[in-house]
Amino acid sequence: MQAIKLAENIYWVGAIDWNLRNFHGYETEKGSTYNAYLILDEKVTLIDTVKEGFGDEMLARIRSVIDPAKIDIVVSNHAEPDHSGCLRLLKAAAPHAQIYTAAGAGVKDLTAYYGDLGYTGVKAGETLSLGKRTLTFVPTPMVHWPDNMVSFLTPDNILFSNDAFGQHYASDERKDTECDLPEAFIQARKYYANIVQPYGMQTGKALAAVAALPVAAIFPSHGICWTEHIPEILALYRSWAAGEYDDTAVIVYDTMWHSTEAMAHAIESAFLSCGKKPRLYNLHYCHNSDIIADAMTARYIAVGSPTLNNNMMPSVASFLTYFKGLTGNKKLSIAFGSYGWGGQSPEQVEKLLAECKCEPLLPAVRIAYKPTEEQLAALTESVKNAIAAQQ
Ligand code: FEO
């Protein structure tokens, strides 16, 4: 395990988790990395550690450059265990290292996880001299926990951004100039949608703070480092944080005997004829976290469920629960579904959509047993009219 040189006297010493497939319900089909960075200066400095279980990999990479015992400073930009999980291990290998973290939340969280390892709390704008270089700390609370902060290294002008601008994307390439760039952007979007999306306002504030810095490179705590495509990733973050819409409509459903599916296609026809770009997701095949990534910028969301034992289907309840936790911008919604008797599910879906900042485009739609061609045509027409009324 070797350190990877990113700049003069700055090394990546993190870990690659090729096997990670789930991060708290988020399907991480490309794995992830836990990025730690080593800065060789008069004060040898480590930015973040790695998830528990990956400490040997991190220490081996550090050892390929320097004896870990020579580390003077550890900066913990974020207390979540995927970045702090090896603090105790590191402290054992580098007993005199001083740990810097956000004053208040950072100290509190690290103490809760690891006990008192002797933390120094830092506040907004505080600086720390490493010798030829200086770190400046910028709090970015709620991107993704209350303790989050970023550290800006001068004169290199490198932003150690922790979760912000990250991607769950395992690769041996460390820079945007070396990796599969379209994949990095896909994973950056999925990461934002599934991790950061509920905190758009706080992300906007963090972006404003970062905008004041002459950033030459962004080194996040997951995935690849941004060295050339900084304007693109910043523009995407600005757009996502502002909750901007595109021209898509997402239609999410489950189906038992294809009746709710037929309704989904009738709604698809309406969006298509109104110049929107419908995207269909059958929950039997599609993962919540992929749907959320696409739904983030959609103006419209339609959610359909048959009635099963007087309830919506569990798959639909799961999606709506996940969606509720990650709600970002406001959307116009349609609840729909087929039923045999009872028929409670569309109203149940509509109620949950209202809890997700959705405004009904039209009242919940339900059709008994198998929809007729006439009923489907009427559904298409009513959705078309509702869309037109909004424009
Ligand atoms: Fe990658 Fe919020 O930890």
Active site residue: 17, 48, 57, 80, which one?
80
101: domain CATH number is 3.60.15.10
Residues 281 and 330 in one domain: yes
Residues 129 and 148 in one domain: yes
Which of 198, 215, 241 lies at the terminal end of a domain, its last residue? 241
Residue 82 and residue 52: Cα distance in Å, rounded?
7
Which of 190, 214, 241 lies at the terminal end of a domain, its last residue? 241
> 335-389 pLDDT, tens per residue?
999 999 999 999 999 999 999 999 999 999 999 999 999 999 999 999 999 999 9
- Its domain, for residue 289, covers 250-390
82 is catalytic: yes
Instruction: Give mean pLDDT, residues 133-158.
Output: 96
> 278-333 pLDDT, tens per residue?
999 999 999 999 999 999 999 999 999 999 999 999 999 999 999 999 999 999 99
Instruction: Examine the pLDDT at 90 and tell me if it is beyond 90.
Output: yes
Give the chain's domain count: 2
Residues 237 and 143 in one domain: yes
Instruction: Examine the pLDDT at 209 and tell me if it is beyond 90.
Output: no
> 249-284 pLDDT, tens per residue?
999 999 999 999 999 999 999 999 999 999 999 999
Residue 282 and residue 262: Cα distance in Å, rounded?
12
163 is catalytic: yes
Residues 43 and 120 in one domain: yes
Q: What angle do CA 93, 95, 99 make, to 5 degrees?
A: 100
Q: What is the pLDDT of residue 354?
A: 98
Instruction: Judge whether 200 and 243 are in contact, CB under 8 Å.
Output: yes
Which of 217, 241, 265 lies at the terminal end of a domain, its last residue? 241
Is the CB of 163 within 6 Å of ligand 1? yes
Instruction: Examine the pLDDT at 155 and tell me if it is beyond 90.
Output: yes
Alpha-carbon distances of 138 from 15, 120, 129, rounded to whole Å: 25, 15, 15
* Closest Cα to atom 3 of ligand 1: 80
Q: What is the pLDDT of residue 200?
A: 92
C-alpha 79 – ligand 1 centre gap (Å): 8
Residues 184 and 257 in one domain: no
> 31-80 pLDDT, tens per residue?
999 999 999 999 999 999 999 999 999 999 999 999 999 999 999 999 99
Residues 286 and 138 in one domain: no
Instruction: Examine the pLDDT at 149 and tell me if it is beyond 90.
Output: yes
C-alpha 223 – ligand 1 centre gap (Å): 12
Residues 219 and 366 in one domain: no
Instruction: Examine the pLDDT at 391 and tell me if it is beyond 90.
Output: no
C-alpha 229 – ligand 1 centre gap (Å): 22
Average pLDDT of the residues of the chain:
97
DSSP symbols for 25-85: TEE-TT-EEE--EEE-SSS-EEE----TT-HHHHHHHHHTTS-GGG--EEEES--SHHHHT
Residues 256 and 231 in one domain: no
Q: Which atom of ligand 1 is nearest to the CA of 163?
A: 1
Instruction: Examine the pLDDT at 240 and tell me if it is beyond 90.
Output: yes
Instruction: Give mean pLDDT, residues 169-184.
Output: 98
C-alpha 133 – ligand 1 centre gap (Å): 26
301: domain CATH number is 3.40.50.360
Residues 153 and 60 in one domain: yes
Is the CB of 51 within 6 Å of ligand 1? no
Residues 226 and 259 in one domain: no
Active site residue: 17, 48, 82, 350, which one?
82
Instruction: Give mean pLDDT, residues 190-202.
Output: 95
Residues 323 and 180 in one domain: no
Instruction: Give mean pLDDT, residues 170-191.
Output: 98
Residues 61 and 183 in one domain: yes
Q: What is the pLDDT of residue 335?
A: 98
191 is catalytic: yes
96 is catalytic: no
56 is catalytic: no
222 is catalytic: yes
